[in-house]
Amino acid sequence: MSVYTPAQAVEETGFSLDTLRYYERIGLLERVERNAAGQRRFSDEDLGWLGMVRCLRDTGMPIAEMLRFAELVRDGAHTIDDRITLLEAHDRDVEAQIAQLQEKQAAIQRKIQYYRDVLAISGASACRRIEEPRPH
């Protein structure tokens, strides 16, 4: 059970201090404790939650939906079904993102190979003229 200064929270979470304050303002992060001087002291729980936020954010969940999730968490144990439903939907979403990235990546790699072929042909001394059927 330790506490963390703002600088330490930045270090641990990878969010900027401005972002942490922003998340607190919009209610994505519950009001963080303050010391006597009014400075934030983050708890392990805060950092745990921020880890979850990072995970959701990095997988493309919009803030509005993270807020819905935060609300469910705040509302207690009887929302666990709903949390599962939300996370499952997001999981499917991430799955789709991965599939789409892989598909487009293959296209990019084909394009790279196409360019390599163009270079190889134009470099071959026997063949000075270059056909460029798809010029981009």
Partner DNA sequence: GCTTGACCCGGAGCCTACTCCAGGTGTCAT
Partner DNA sequence: ATGACACCTGGAGTAGGCTCCGGGTCAAGC
Residues 86-105 that bind a second copy (CB under 8 A): 87-88, 90-91, 94-95, 97-98, 100-102, 104-105
Least Å from the CB of residue 105 to DNA? 18
Cβ-proximal residues to 47 (8 Å cutoff; 6+ apart), any chain = 4, 9, 12, 13
The yes or no reply on residue 3 touching DNA (CB under 7 A) is no
- 4 close to 12: Cβ distance less than 8 angstroms: yes
Q: Out of 18, 81, 131, 132, which residue is the one contacting DNA (CB under 7 A)?
A: 18
The yes or no reply on residue 57 touching DNA (CB under 7 A) is yes
Element (H, E) at 55: helix 44-58
Least Å from the CB of residue 111 to a second copy? 6
Angle at the Cα of 114 (from 113 to 115), degrees rounded to 5? 90
